[in-house]
Structure 1
Amino acid sequence: MRQLIPSPVISVVADTCTARETHASLDSLFAYADAPGEPPDGSKHVKALEWLRRTNKDHSVDPLAVLGRLIENYMEQPIGTWNDGSDAKKIEAILAQCKLRYVTGGKVVAAQMSAAASRTLETLLKSFDYRAIDEEFSRALENVQSEPREAVSAASNILESFCKVFIAENSLELPAKQDLKPLWTVVRKHLGFDPSAIADTDLQTILTGMLATVEGIAALRTHASSAHGAGVTSYRIEPRHARLAIHAAHTITLFALETWEKRRKSAG
């Protein structure tokens, strides 16, 4: 069932966007989140409020999916520089008040289901439960025909979650920007995914392609279906594109997980 963004959440998120964004970055943020229509007129605060309300009214979008992408950077940005954690705490509090919860990877879900879902995926990755992870990707494929953009996001989130679990379990330093590409860079370096270090030229070619594919998945999740500035071709992802990205993310996640498990057993 389509769930609207509650008015108290709209108010707090609009305040946060107003404080943290310029007019240009606000437009870019809402475009990234797939908020419908052109930027509204008015001040930053008026613009943010109107765009959030419009999101609720437009039945072609999922309001909570838009909200999740809007607040993703505020919720996951490491403490430091401009971020003292207060924005995330305010948003987290108002979401809880409205029986919602933010889940890593740019998702907002009902509070009673989010914690269990997040813990489940983390547990699967830590326990190397390959069959269950296969099922997670299968769930992403279930929506590929009706919601290809969301299906790609779901698959990308699983790969991103793997990276975060790996970094945490191996006590590695999180990158400043915690989205897929920089997270994957930390993981691949630690796992030794370096084509130049492989003697077999065939494996070099495959490994080079794998690294480029992760960048492609990250870019597709960010850019597909989003509005772009003048001079840049916009496009809408199709189910065939989504299937390619999902199967690629699946293969890479399991290969990385198997490599990690082998190293862990060797070390033990």
Structure 2
Amino acid sequence: MRFSAMQSGPKIPTAIIGTLSKTLPDYFTHADLDSMFLMAGAPEPIPDGSKAAKVKAWLRKINVECAEPLKILGLILDEFMELQVQDQDFWSGETDNVAKVETSKERVKEMLAKDGLSFIRGGTISKGGALPTLSLDESVRKHGLSSVDVEIKRAVAMIEKDPHAAAQYAGNVLEATLKAYLDHKQVAYGRGDALAELWKTASAQIGLRASDLDSKDLKKIASGLHGIVDGIAHLRNTKSGAHGRSEEQRQNINIKPRHARLAIHSAHTIAAYVLELIE
């Protein structure tokens, strides 16, 4: 099915189209590009011309004919962002080639950021800036925490589509992170412990309770973190998609994408800090 531009979601920015038309041809053959775009859901027929012309024309075509251009862009970028020098048969794997591909990836990230977008591992394009999420994503990859990774992807992917579910997953990210931290520190916790109890145990281990701190300013920060965790737990338990609702409850609970994004970024900021302490 084809969609008009009026029906389409947020479009791929022109600057990104220009950047990718210059970047992707350096790393992929015509056959590779065809496979990447088609697997991501780009519309047929395949555009003619050079690799650069093909990429530019196809991304523009996605903007015009597809309902969710940024979703398709995310899937295309996922293959590029995971690219390693050793994946390319025609590369020698020398240091300059490694530097080149990493520089290209950073350039794409910078161009996305200029339009308020960011790439999240797994093929998601996030709107509104995602520095806490990116920092958390790096820590998760470093420590191989797949349980946290799953919840990050779920939360970010559902912000616009189902903010109620996204709010639930924001709490899940925090819960999975606290469990990972406590497991690493070999600190016992109950299997049925709620988020508030996990935070109580973890914050005591970290030394983040207000009573542990002498500075008035730090006490306020510690109290603020406790308030964030408590708020996210309450949001997940009473207003997210975690439980079935009556029709009256459904009408009275109105979590918008901006609310879900607030919960997600707050949870990710705390989670990123906690994972730093695993070191």
Category of TM-score, reference length = shorter chain: 0.3 to 0.5
Question: TM-score if structure 2 supplies the norm length?
Answer: 0.42
